[in-house]
């Protein structure tokens, strides 16, 4: 019997990366690889990296240093190598820098070429026996990787499904158009097939993924171009799927049929992540967001008219070059006005090659820190207030995870709030009615009714 090679995959960054990491595992399994949770006994270690902010990139280089120690120790103790691969967005953007700073890395590849992993690893294994060889694959291939990804044989109760990738919007702070390439939408038939398959193996909820997911414009099953709104109607017909979500959206791509979908489709959860980044028109314009704060507020209003119970989350960047105290105040004002129930907020991080990084009006680090603290204070207050409104209510929760304490499980409400409950994993995959007893900053606690 051949011994399975153990592969360790570490994902950084966004949900798209988590999806890619799962697909890498699915790709490798039929080729004699199994997944291991720790690098200690791995034959192959893959870092599936994120390039969005400097911090994420630093983490990759420090993790690489640790893997190198492990690799050297392994070779010294057992004369057995560990192949180190850097995939994902740092791989795509920093191929040359990685091979310079970390010459022990055996393979570098980007998010659009990982469907060739089995073939690339097979080439490398020749190397182990012979001379040192390194593979760097950061081309954007002509074929779509989606045509080569295998059908998974297992799924989470709450599954990701990538429907769109890449970005043509070129916000001035962002690396995504360079790391993920230009916008691509998968054909609707492929997506519907994958969604049906996921439902047939136990998925109850799917989150459609894309860097500009509402910019989806794939080939429909009638041969015409379909929007996200149109696609949602077909996905909602799939038996077994009870909840549908999509992320991440851009305000410019809110089209009529998407509002209609929110109005008509009960399975579409009443919670939308719609990043606004800033509440100042001056900064929105400088960021190249192509909309004003007012236009964003109108979108929110229109969505509320379509689905009264809808709630919102957003991403924010503080300390964008040229941001004044007044601009920052306008961001806080927009936050209060919308009443976001959840949000991610970041200090602006200059990224080489993006227009904003070259601006001379960079905001000092201490100012960014102060603004971030103030913004997060507002956001946390809103989030807690929303969580507290749930106390006493009975909500439907999909349980799918073990909690920290034994006999504690965690599930999600329609609004993505985590609910903890005393119970065991036999309840996973069920939608249960839970009476909420406590609302905290980041979670709710309740009891089954």
Is the CB of 53 or the CB of 245 nearer to ligand SF4?
53
Residues 322-361 that bind ligand 5AD (CB under 6 A): 346, 348-349, 351
Is the CB of 135 or the CB of 174 nearer to ligand 5AD?
174
Shortest Cβ distance from residue 120 to ligand SF4 (Å)? 20
Residues 186-245 that bind ligand SF4 (CB under 6 A): 211
Q: Does residue 17 belong to the site contacting ligand 5AD (CB under 6 A)?
A: no
Which of 9, 121, 135, 175 binds ligand SF4 (CB under 6 A)? It is 175
Residues 17-56 that bind ligand SF4 (CB under 6 A): 17, 50-52
Determine if the peptide bond prior to 383 is cis (ω within 30°): no
In 3D space, the residue among 322, 218, 320, 305 whose CA is nearest the CA of residue 263 turns out to be 305
CA gap 220, 187 in Å, rounded:
6
CA gap 411, 421 in Å, rounded:
8
CA gap 45, 86 in Å, rounded:
8
Report how far apart, in Å, the C-alpha atoms of 445 and of each of 37, 401, 410, 448 are: 30, 14, 9, 10
Q: Does residue 420 belong to the site contacting ligand 5AD (CB under 6 A)?
A: no
For residue 110, count other CB atoms closer than 10 A to its CB.
25
Q: Does residue 179 belong to the site contacting ligand SF4 (CB under 6 A)?
A: yes
Which of 67, 89, 107, 244 binds ligand SF4 (CB under 6 A)? It is 89
Residues 357-386 that bind ligand SF4 (CB under 6 A): none
Which of 93, 120, 121, 174 binds ligand 5AD (CB under 6 A)? It is 174
Instruction: Tell me the site size for ligand SF4, rule CB under 6 A.
Output: 14
In terms of Cβ atoms closer than 10 Å to its own Cβ (0-12, 13-18, 19+), residue 122 is: exposed
Closest residue by beta carbon to ligand 5AD: 315
The answer to whether residues 203 and 222 touch, using CB atoms and an 8 Å cutoff, is no
**Bridge-based pairing state of the strands 408-412 and 311-318:** unpaired
In the list ligand 5AD, ligand SF4, none, the entry touching 346 (Cβ below 5 to 8 angstroms by class) is ligand 5AD
Shortest Cβ distance from residue 211 to ligand SF4 (Å)? 6
Is the CB of 305 or the CB of 352 nearer to ligand 5AD?
352
Helix (H) or strand (E) holding 438: strand 431-439
CA gap 229, 2 in Å, rounded:
48
Residues 46-65 that bind ligand 5AD (CB under 6 A): 52-53
CA gap 270, 343 in Å, rounded:
16
In 3D space, the residue among 280, 361, 274, 272 whose CA is nearest the CA of residue 311 turns out to be 272
Task: Give the residues lining the site for ligand SF4 (CB under 6 A).
Answer: 13-14, 16-17, 50-52, 88-89, 175-176, 179-180, 211
Task: Give the residues lining the site for ligand 5AD (CB under 6 A).
Answer: 52-53, 173-174, 275, 277, 315, 317, 346, 348-349, 351
């Amino acid at each position: 019997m051949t011994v399975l090679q153990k592969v360790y995959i570490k994902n950084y960054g966004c949900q798209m990366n988590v999806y890619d990491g799962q697909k890498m595992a699915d790709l490798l399994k039929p080729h004699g690889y199994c997944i291991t949770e720790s690098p200690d006994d791995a034959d192959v270690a893959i870092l599936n990296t994120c390039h969005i902010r400097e911090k994420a990139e630093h983490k990759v280089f420090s993790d690489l240093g640790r893997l190198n120690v492990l690799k050297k120790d392994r070779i010294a103790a057992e004369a057995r190598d560990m192949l180190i691969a850097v995939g994902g967005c740092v791989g795509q953007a920093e191929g040359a820098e990685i091979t310079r700073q970390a010459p022990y890395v055996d393979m570098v590849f980007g998010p659009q070429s990982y469907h060739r992993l089995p073939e690339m690893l097979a080439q490398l294994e020749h190397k182990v026996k012979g001379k040192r060889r390194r593979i760097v694959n950061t081309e954007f291939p002509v074929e779509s990787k989606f045509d080569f990804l295998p059908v998974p044989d297992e799924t989470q109760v709450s599954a990701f499904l990538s429907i769109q990738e890449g970005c043509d919007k070129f916000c001035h702070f962002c690396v995504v158009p360079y790391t993920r390439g230009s916008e691509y939408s998968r054909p609707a038939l492929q997506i519907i097939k994958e969604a049906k398959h996921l439902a047939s193996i136990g998925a109850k909820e799917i989150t459609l993924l894309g860097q500009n997911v509402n910019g989806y414009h794939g080939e429909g099953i009638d041969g015409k171009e379909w929007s996200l709104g149109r696609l949602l109607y077909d996905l909602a017909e799939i038996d077994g799927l009870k909840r549908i979500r999509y992320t991440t959206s851009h305000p410019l791509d809110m089209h009529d049929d998407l509002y209609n979908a929110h109005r008509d489709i009960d399975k579409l959860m009443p919670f939308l992540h719609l990043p606004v980044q800033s509440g100042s028109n001056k900064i929105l314009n400088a960021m190249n967001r192509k909309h004003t704060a007012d236009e964003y507020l109108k979108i929110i209003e229109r969505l509320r008219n379509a689905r009264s119970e809808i709630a919102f989350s957003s991403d924010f960047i503080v300390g964008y070059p040229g941001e004044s105290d007044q601009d920052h105040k306008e961001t806080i004002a927009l936050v209060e006005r919308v009443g976001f129930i959840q949000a991610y907020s970041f200090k602006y991080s200059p990224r080489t090659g993006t227009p904003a990084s070259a601006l001379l009006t960079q905001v000092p680090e201490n100012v960014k820190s102060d603004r971030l603290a103030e913004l997060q204070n507002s956001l946390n207050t809103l989030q807690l207030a929303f969580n507290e409104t749930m106390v006493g209510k009975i909500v439907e929760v999909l349980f799918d995870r073990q909690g920290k304490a034994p006999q504690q499980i965690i599930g999600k409400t329609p609004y993505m709030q985590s609910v903890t409950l005393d119970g065991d994993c036999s309840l996973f995959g069920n939608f249960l009615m839970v009476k909420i007893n406590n609302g905290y900053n980041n979670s709710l606690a309740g009891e089954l009714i």
